[in-house]
A and B are shown apart, each in its own frame.
Chain A
Amino acid sequence: MSGGGNRKKNTRSQGWEDAGSDFYQESYPLDPEFEVLQKDPKHLHTLLPSKQTRAAVATIRMRTNDYRSNKSTVRRHTASRTRSRRDSTVHRRTSTIGGDVQLSMLPDLSEMKTNEESAWEEVMRLKELPIPMAQKKEMKNKIMNEPNLRLQGYENFNWKRRKLWTHLEARVREFLQKIELWKGSLRHIEGNFGTGVVAFFLFVKWLFLLNCGMCLLIFLYLTLPTILLDYDKSFNCTDASLACSCTESYFNSSQSENNVVLEVMQGTGFLERTILFYGFYSNKVLSYMLSGVEMYYNIPLAYILVMLACFLISLVLILRSAAKGFKERLVESEGQFYLYCNLVFGGWDFCIDNEKAARTKHKAVYNEIKAALETEKLTEERQGRTRKEQYKILMSRLVVNILVVVILIGCGIVIYYTFDFSTQKIVHSTQEIETNEKLLQLLYEFLPSMVIVSMNIIVPFIFRFLINFEKYTPIVEIRFTLIRTVFLRLASLVVLYASLLTRITCSRPSDRTCTPCNDSPECWETFVGQQIFKLLVTDFGTHVILTFIVNFVRALLAKHLNNKFFEFIGEQTFDLSKHALDVVYTQTLCWFGMFYAPLLSLLAAVMFFFLFYIKKFNCVINCKPSPVIYRASRSHSMFMVVLLVSYLFAVLPIAYSIYELMPSKTCGPFSGENTVWSLVVDLFMSWPEWIQKCVFYLNTPGFVIPFFIVLVLLLYYYSAINSANRHMVVVLKNQLVLEGHDKQFLLDRLSLFIKQENQKRARAEQMRDRDRDSDSRNT
């Protein structure tokens, strides 16, 4: 305003230009924008330099001629990895624009000229520009027609290689897209149910591919050599070792004749001594002739290495997939940064392609916004809770948690005793099987699996009912139910492990030499494999029955009978966490059983293939779109966490059995060894001495302690950097707010000043008019 005082006598146009140059340093010519400003000074902020760069993007279509100078502003936001490259091109551009004089003064001419590679790069980057195709084409032509320097020698080769590489990449991508599995199904689901549900189906696909990979590995390195070299089990034990004679007796023992279908379902009978189970693989080093040279294939070693490889690959893939999600979740969880922004800007799935789905989505977005706003109110309300209410809620939560633990333990006990009961019955009835007892026998066989599966179905309902009393927020509620259900499933597995363990180890030494105790199975690894096999089959069967019969009928009832009651029992939504658990459970069983039945991964792959269709049927036909929004990233990370936990639950017992339990003498690649691990130790001992020394050195305190200290120091270093960065973020944020306030303050001042100027001018004009009037009157 003091400035306004100085320029009192300035005429209109002068005042404008002065003010402009004072504040912006660049003088703007009289623009239509200024005309607008004059009427409404509030539009001043559109003239800020930061806005000008964006405006340049918007108006770029007007000025294609000097697109190159604009381009640097268009792309100012691209990642820093291209910065160095861009800087050089920007530099070149300014020099070409600046004129030839400047160019001649620069020492290195070749740096300033385009070469083929940079021209090509520029063309490749054109696609990022937000301008219509016609202009992009024009630019491309311009770049292509400019004189280029030809690349030579190594550079030329390098560029050609890069070009070829991108070309190949595009080809491979095209090919992969063509053979992509379930593309149409995924698109259909996505169009109707949104990205969150598709994340589940992608997860099923991921598991299917994982199992295919593992199956391929096992088949190539384990099953194929066995089939080729060791298929006829002919025994002529020349050495009188115990293992050999035991194996002989195992394979020659009579197999009970039974119904083929039942045998396939149970994995017994003829199926027991096939490549499906552990027992079939031999403990010999197989030899074969390859073009006259004798080659060896060590089956036991291959067995353990392939298994280790499978578990490692699974772990690495899970971690890799989970790490991405974790990072995003970490960012998100830091104070719930962008909850509402994500809701609004990421709320719509652009892939939705039909009216019905769109309506559901509108409704879901509305609900979610409402819920988010309400949660905020709820947290406020919670702070206002009285102490008495707090105690009440605390008590109810305690009671519910105790109940949940009791239910879990109860389930464990039930499973344990069922298993005990059924095995006793089976052992007793093996002596004589009459035809009418066969069904009963089958029932006993499947009793444990059926109990486990039915518990997995019923108990989650109880949990979902109980959680209502705890008064959590909806997100926490879902999380708690999920955690409890995971525990239920894993607890039932743990009990299964325990009961299996009591079956195969016993305190009483056996009078038979081939098995550790009297009532234990001949080949306990195969026995365990059979149990898992049965469990998998039962689980899969229930999926089929539940989906195609129970849920389908429910859905039909709800659809065709307009009855409140039927609608209540019939209508179902696609509960993502429940279905994810189903799938993860199958995978856990597969991992656990894989060591005892190598081709279980093939079975799992087949199952996942069908499960995809079963779940799709359930989702598309039986279910209505869920009123809850599932976020793709959130559900993906949830799947991965659950999968990781289940992986640990599957692998730990196997690690224990490899390290501790004695393999059965009658069968399998490790018969005759003390533990499976001892084979690996033996192998290690046969390595050159210096490797052994190295490994032993890694075990000594002289290495371990310094290593540990370095790790701790690194950890400390990174945590220090982390906290410093966090502090910096806060500081910068505050600074940004201050700058924003400063800017607004200045803008307000400026608009006030302009207003005053306008008023003054108006007053001056009035005065002049009056003067003129009085003059005219005087004359």
Chain B
Amino acid sequence: MGQSKSQFTEEELQDYQDLTYFTKKEVLYAHQKFKSLAPEKVGHNKNAKLPMSKILQFPELSVNPFGERICKVFSSSQDGDCTFEDFLDMMSIFSENAPKPVKAEHAFRIFDFDGDDMLGISDLKQIINRLTNDNKLNDSEMTMLVQNILTEADLDDDSSLSFAEFEHIIDRSPDFLSSFRIRL
């Protein structure tokens, strides 16, 4: 930890502590993790921009079916490449201390593949396909499942889920907080 400590000034650390759900020590720990993805590059420039393929080597993200989306949502250049600050943002949202509404906001953006601010049928299908991976549901099952989701949650009957509807689901979902979390 002593090495990476020299890379940050006290002021920067204070900034990071104020602007994330981490303490200074955790920020440094996060930087260690970030550094381990590409030791040389980050050694040169502590806030180096790593390509998405590098970020996806982070164990939790590498097996996550939504890993790519997560990178894109948190990337400040929106192409999936992340600087350390983007990475820190990401980890902060996934940390234990982030409150439910904040997590829900980001979950919605991760699930919204086409970026139209609604979870439409195509979004839902993509989520399900990514969840089941190799075991594909057949067409009738897929339609049935999407239909069931919409009957449950689509309150205004426009066959897509708005953010308000999504947040309502998350509010009622007891497991969301424990599952939408990455331990640093």
Contacts and interface: CB of A to CB of B under 8 A. Distances in A.
Contacts of B19: 123, 126-127, 133, 136-137, 140
Interface in B68-93: 76, 85-86, 88-89, 92
A357 interface: yes
Contact of B109 (A127, A130, A355, A741): A130
Interface in B117-165: 117-118, 124, 127-128, 131-135, 137, 141, 144-145, 148-149, 152-153, 155-158, 162-164
B23 A345 contact: no
Given A332-B172, A341-B152, A373-B141, A55 B20 contact: no
A728 B116 CA distance: 32
A359 B132 CA distance: 9
Contacts of B34: none
Given A130-B106, A132-B76, A362 B23 contact: no
Given A362-B134, A740-B158, A632 B178 contact: yes
A54 interface: yes
B117 A51 contact: yes
Contacts of A83: none
Contact of A130 (B105, B124, B127, B152): B105
B169 interface: yes
A736 B167 CA distance: 16
Contacts of A78: 101
A724 to B, nearest CB: 20
B102 A128 contact: yes
B152 A631 contact: no
A346 B179 contact: yes
B1 interface: no
Contacts of B105: 57, 77, 130
A366 B135 CA distance: 7
Interface stretch (B2-10, B48-56, B59-67): B59-67
Given A341-B173, A632-B178, A133 B117 contact: no
B42 interface: no
B113 interface: no
Contacts of B99: 128
A345 B176 contact: yes
Contacts of B40: none
Main secondary structure of the interface of A (DSSP, over half): helix
Contact of A743 (B64, B88, B118, B156): B156
Given A130-B109, A170-B23, A350-B180, A342 B175 contact: yes
A633 B172 contact: no
Nearest to B116: A46
Interface string A148-182: 00000000000000000000001101100000000
A359 B134 CA distance: 9
B59 A353 contact: yes
A436 B172 CA distance: 66
Contacts of A741: 157
B64 A352 contact: yes
Contacts of B135: 362-363, 366
Contact of A338 (B153, B162, B163): B153
A565 B63 CA distance: 33
A502 B116 CA distance: 74
Nearest to A362: B133
A134 B169 contact: no
A187 interface: yes
Contacts of B128: 344, 369
A348 B23 contact: no
B124 A344 contact: yes
A125 B115 CA distance: 26
A338 B63 contact: no
Contacts of B88: 133
Nearest to B16: A133
Contact of B66 (A58, A174, A331, A348): A348
Given A50-B162, A632-B179, A740 B124 contact: no
A354 interface: yes
Nearest to A139: B19
B181 interface: yes
A346 B156 contact: no
A766 to B, nearest CB: 34
Contact of B60 (A351, A369, A740): A351
A55 B183 contact: no
A79 B182 CA distance: 24
A405 B88 CA distance: 58
A51 B19 CA distance: 27
A202 to B, nearest CB: 10
A370 interface: yes
A132 B90 CA distance: 10
Contact of A737 (B132, B152, B156, B182): B156
Contacts of A329: 174
Contacts of A126: 18-19
Given A346-B175, A353-B63, A633-B175, A369 B132 contact: yes
Interface string A659-681: 00000000000000000000000
A347 interface: yes
A190 interface: yes
B18 A348 contact: no
Nearest to B105: A130
Given A174-B25, A351-B182, A54 B86 contact: no
A601 to B, nearest CB: 29
Contacts of B16: 133
Interface in A360-378: 362-363, 365-366, 369-370, 373, 376
B153 A341 contact: yes
A50 B165 CA distance: 12
Interface string B1-44: 00000000000000111111101011000000000000000000
A349 interface: yes
A50 B163 CA distance: 10
Given A345-B111, A369-B145, A55 B117 contact: yes
Nearest to A357: B63
A127 B127 CA distance: 27
A398 interface: no
B183 A351 contact: yes
B162 to A, nearest CB: 7
Contacts of A50: 162, 164
A362 B155 contact: no
A568 B180 CA distance: 35
Nearest to A632: B178
Contacts of A342: 169, 173, 175-176
Interface string A602-642: 00000000000000000000000000000111100000000
A609 to B, nearest CB: 22
Nearest to A133: B85
23 contacts: A50-B162, A123-B18, A123-B19, A128-B101, A132-B86, A134-B76, A170-B17, A173-B23, A173-B97, A328-B174, A340-B145, A340-B149, A346-B175, A346-B179, A348-B65, A348-B131, A348-B179, A351-B182, A351-B183, A365-B132, A631-B174, A632-B179, A633-B175
Given A58-B117, A190-B183, 14 more contacts: A77-B105, A123-B18, A124-B18, A133-B85, A174-B26, A332-B174, A339-B152, A341-B173, A345-B111, A345-B173, A348-B66, A351-B179, A373-B144, A376-B148
Interface of A: 45-46, 50-51, 54-55, 57-58, 61, 77-79, 123-124, 126-128, 130, 132-134, 136-137, 140, 170-171, 173-174, 187, 190-191, 195, 199, 325, 328-329, 331-332, 337-342, 344-355, 357-359, 362-363, 365-366, 369-370, 373, 376, 631-634, 733, 736-737, 739-741, 743-744
Query: Which are the 8 A-B pairs with shortest beta-carbon distances?
Result: A740-B156, A133-B85, A633-B174, A358-B63, A132-B76, A328-B174, A353-B59, A366-B135
